[in-house]
Structure 1
Amino acid sequence: MPFASDFEVQRMSPSVLLAAAFLLGIRHALDPDHLVAVSTLVAEQRRLWPAARLGLLWGLGHLLPIAAVGLPLVALRLQLPEAWEHGVDLGVGVLLVLLGLRTLLGLRRERVHFHVHEHGGHLHPHFHRHDRSPRHDHVHPAPGRAGAVSFSVGVMHGLAGSGAGAVLAMTASPSTPAATAYLLAFGMGTVAGMFATTLCVAAPTLLAASRWASAYVAVRAAAGVASIAVGVWMWFELLPHFV
């Protein structure tokens, strides 16, 4: 933690404390379980704004329990039991596995397959995608369902971090009003961090996908596998707390 002692915290000006909270929120958005969850949804998009919108919705969903759960904890100077945090973290792991399976099964429904063939003595790998639905030439808007899923995933992640965020706010801030402001700044930093990260990741990915059709499929497959891997890793990390 960046706050080594109460003495150092008390010497900080309110503006520096809030800036530190905002930057910590940005850093929090880059946690692996956050990134892989949003990546599985962003990888399905074919335009930049719908992709960035999903990151923004995740951030807003994450902010909701930070405010709804974290602020009362700060006001009452309470802490959530460890069992709560472990249980919600386990739920996040399950959610990541489900998101990864959703992505991979989506590719299967679209009949995406991979093969290698030879041209002029050189091997060439190719992805092929055969949609089972009728072909359309118009551009589809970002599905509302993807936005709802992204927001819900953000809520789940926010529930997992609300207790720790409240403890951090109370540790870093000399008073309850300061801790409240700190927690809100942290939450807003998380929103900004995920939105900016989604933009930075989606822009080159969509550019590559527009030039190489196989890139779109490869990114989706990689996001799905990564989501499952992180979810299973979380299960093993939490297993000692349940046995």
Structure 2
Amino acid sequence: MSAESVGVALATAGLLGVTHAIEPDHVAGISSLTSRYGDARLSALVGACFSLGHAAVVVVWVGLAYLVLGSTSFPPILDTVGTTAAGVILGLFGAMMAVSGLRAAVYEHDHGGESHSHVHVGLPFFGTTDHDSHAEHDRSVRAYLKTGLVGALFTLSPPLSMLAFTSTLLPQFDGGVVGLAVTTYAVSITVAMSLIGAGAGAVFGLTQGRGVRAFGAVQTVAGVGVVALAATMVLGAVGTPF
């Protein structure tokens, strides 16, 4: 077991983590969670919380595969159920984002002779907040824990690529190297998802600067796109032809 081979194994694990993080459903899920913030740093934290819950369940799957079952294969029904559940959850978030965008785009009222626009946003598990007062509420530990829970729910189906990769490591390396590879995989997911969150927050922040209606329009379009992606996931999982 050379240092070079260990380095290649860890680099591969890191690359697998990044490619897993940028899968469309993960990007869509993080974007739907961060669309209401409009702040890159806060959205990066949300992405990190999502990834921690996600990575934790990946580690559980790997441990279950080797310590309990001694196999990298799972019944196909688990992947079907997991993908379907993730699609349903993603669809819920996309629908809520679209509704929030519509409300932001059309809702204006006069107050004291002046026109004021408010963005009222809400997502499952998180409640509804106003754009002017969301920061204190959204920084609560409970909100971040719930974000981690959502990330975990996106990992209900076995992570097949990582399971296949770890199966190739075991004949060559001991448990310590395999554990380090899994850790590298989890860290790379966290970094990548944090960057995705930051990017989504920055984009939505730019649209907020163009006015409430512009922000609402972008939210609506993005929400519809997320719902469409969720529908393809569910239909694909249950084997329905397009």
TM-score normalised according to structure 1 size:
0.76
CA shift at 1:138, angstroms? 5.5
Corresponding residue number in structure 2 for 1:171? 168
Q: Is 1:236 the equivalent of 2:228? A: no
Q: Is the 8 A contact 2:16 2:162 kept in 1?
A: no
Q: Is the CA contact (8 Å cut-off) linking 1:96 and 1:227 kept in structure 2? A: yes
Match of 2:135, SS state, is: coil
1:101 to partner: Cα distance: 1.7
Unaligned runs of 5+ in 1: 1-8, 115-127
**Which stretches in structure 2 are left out of the alignment for 5+ residues?**
108-116, 122-127
Residue 156 of structure 1 corresponds to: 153
Alpha carbons 1:74, 1:166 under 8 Å: kept = no
Counterpart in the other structure of 1:23: 15
C-alpha displacement at 1:223, in angstroms?
A: 2.6
Q: What is the CA RMSD across the aligned residues, in angstroms?
A: 3.2
- More displaced stretch, 96-105 vs 34-43: 96-105
Write the distance in 1 (CA, Å) between the matches of 2:155 and 2:95: 22
1:45–1:142 contact (8 Å) kept in structure 2:
no
1:112 to 105, 112, 137: 105
Deviations 1:178-228 (A, max 9, x none): 333222221221111111122233224313422443332123212311221
1:138–1:159 distance in 2 versus 1, CA, 3 Å: closer
What amino acid is the match of 1:95?
Answer: I
The match for 1:92 is: 86
Give the superposition deviation at 1:236. Answer: 1.6
Deviation string, structure 1 residues 61-99 (Cα, Å, up to 9, x no partner):
111111222123234532322111111111011111111
The more displaced of 190-199 and 28-37 is 190-199
> How many angstroms apart in 1 are the aligned matches of 2:214 and 2:8?
43
2: CA distance between counterparts of 1:17 and 1:129?
Answer: 50
**Which whole-Å CA distance do the structure 2 matches of 1:33 and 1:95 have between them?**
10
Query: 1:142 offset after TM fit, Å?
Result: 5.2
Question: Partner of 1:61: helix, strand, or coil?
Answer: helix
Q: Which has the larger radius of gyration?
A: 1
> In 2, distance between residues paired with 1:85 and 1:136?
38
Separation in 2, partners of 1:131, 1:28: 32
Deviates more, 1:145-154 or 1:223-232: 145-154
What do residues 124-178 of structure 1 show as CA deviations (whole Å, max 9, x unaligned)? xxxx757599988666335246534421221012232435422332135534513
Q: Which AA in structure 2 matches 1:112?
A: A
C-alpha displacement of 1:35: 0.7
Once residues 102 and 237 of structure 1 are traced to their aligned partners in structure 2, the CA distance between those partners, rounded to angstroms, is 23
CA distance in 2, matches of 1:198, 1:73: 30
Measure the CA separation in 2 of the matches of 1:27 and 1:167: 15
Q: TM-score, normalised by structure 2?
A: 0.76
Q: Is the 8 A contact 2:32 2:97 kept in 1?
A: yes
Matched residue count: 219
User: Structure 2 vs 1, CA of residues 212 and 80 (structure 1 numbering), >3 Å: closer, same or farther?
Assistant: same
Supply the AA of the counterpart residue of 1:166: L
Residues 1:134 and 1:150: Cα distance change in structure 2 (over 3 Å): closer
User: 2:29 corresponds to which residue?
Assistant: 37
Q: Which residue of 2 aligns with 1:53?
A: 45
Q: 1:61 to 1:138 in 2, by over 3 A?
A: closer
Corresponding residue for 2:111? none
Distance 2:120 2:149 in 1: 28
Aligned to 1:102: 96
